């Protein structure tokens, strides 16, 4: 498997920028139109979240999502080419001063992000600008792909920690005045999450971001990558949010709802850039018991 990955990444790295874009769009078309990978499910979810949109508009959003997914896959295969020449040519950054100002306070910062656009780029661009960053990740299978991913990030100055059993490592990163990257739009198991509203429906969400922010006293900075019409990228840094004042359940719940609402607002502006094939609402609250 390691040999296959090396061959694929070597082939992708030799593509010109334009050829890579064409390949990414074709791959997205293959996934969405030929293979129809979770297409019906994605359209059903879009209809529920955007009831005001017509069937044609929803199909356009879905097609854009598959195109973005294909581009992301090819860009990931070409991570070895994302160097100090590629990044400034292809990625615009808005609001970087916000990150520097927050880190100047010495409490670290938690980066709130989501699977929008090429969601790897906010952390990679931080490494490019010399901002210390640690990203929470989950182990990818097969192991050879996980190794490739980790090595590519490390080369650009991004440290990683596994999402399981790393609370102390995350706190240590914040206490070292680093940025801690946290993607919050993933479905959680009922025992690991809390329910907040997302597009008008309960979504089981990790309370970990709010807990870490409260424990370390670290502000939360929403940062998202938005793919531009020419397929270049814009990393947008939004104003920082103060850490929750305490760790009471209701405080953590309110903070997590606030973070989720920010993610929803970005998705509503760029619905074709979020991964609608992710089963975000898979975990639902248990039905209330009915008295006999």
Instruction: Note the pLDDT tens digit of each residue in 56-72.
Output: 999 999 999 999 999 99
* pLDDT beyond 70 at 249: yes
Average pLDDT, the chain: 91
pLDDT the model gives residue 13: 76
Which of residues 87 and 47 earns the better pLDDT score? 47
Q: Provide Rg for the chain, Cα atoms.
A: 19
Give CA–CA dist 224/236, Å, rounded: 5
Please check whether residue 59 is in contact with residue 43, taking contact to mean a CB–CB distance below 8 angstroms.
Answer: yes
Which residues does 117 contact at the CB level (< 8 Å), separation at least 6? 68, 72, 224, 225, 226, 227, 233, 270, 273
Express as a percent the part of the chain with pLDDT over 70. Answer: 96
- What would the pLDDT profile of 156-214 be if each residue is shown by its tens digit? 788 988 877 678 999 999 999 999 999 999 999 999 999 999 999 999 999 999 999 99
Express as a percent the part of the chain with pLDDT over 90. Answer: 71
DSSP 243: P
């Amino acid at each position: 498997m390691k040999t296959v990955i090396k061959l694929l990444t070597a082939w992708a790295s030799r593509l010109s920028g334009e050829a890579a874009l064409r390949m990414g769009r074709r791959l997205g078309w293959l996934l969405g139109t030929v293979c129809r990978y979770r297409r019906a499910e994605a359209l059903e979810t879009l209809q529920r979240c955007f009831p005001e949109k017509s069937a044609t508009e929803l199909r356009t959003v879905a097609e854009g999502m598959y195109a973005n997914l294909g581009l992301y896959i090819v860009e990931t295969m070409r991570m070895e080419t994302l160097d100090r020449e590629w990044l400034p040519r292809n990625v615009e950054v808005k609001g970087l001063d916000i990150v520097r100002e927050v880190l100047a306070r010495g409490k670290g910062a938690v980066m709130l992000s989501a699977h929008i656009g090429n969601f790897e780029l906010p952390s990679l661009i931080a490494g490019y600008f010399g901002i210390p960053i640690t990203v929470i990740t989950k182990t990818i299978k097969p192991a050879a792909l996980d190794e490739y991913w980790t090595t590519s990030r490390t080369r650009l100055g991004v440290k990683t920690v596994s999402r399981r059993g790393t609370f102390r490592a995350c706190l240590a990163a914040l206490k070292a005045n680093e940025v801690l990257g946290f993607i919050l739009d993933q479905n959680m198991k009922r025992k690991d999450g809390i329910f907040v509203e997302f597009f008008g429906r309960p979504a089981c969400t990790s309370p970990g971001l709010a807990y870490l922010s409260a424990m370390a006293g670290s502000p939360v900075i929403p940062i998202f990558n938005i793919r531009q019409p020419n397929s270049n990228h814009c990393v947008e840094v939004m104003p920082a949010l103060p850490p929750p004042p305490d760790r009471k359940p209701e405080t953590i719940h309110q903070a997590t709802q606030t973070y989720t609402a920010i993610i929803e607002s970005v998705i509503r502006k760029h619905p074709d850039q979020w991964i609608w094939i992710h089963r975000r609402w898979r975990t639902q609250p248990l039905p209330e018991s009915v008295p006999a």
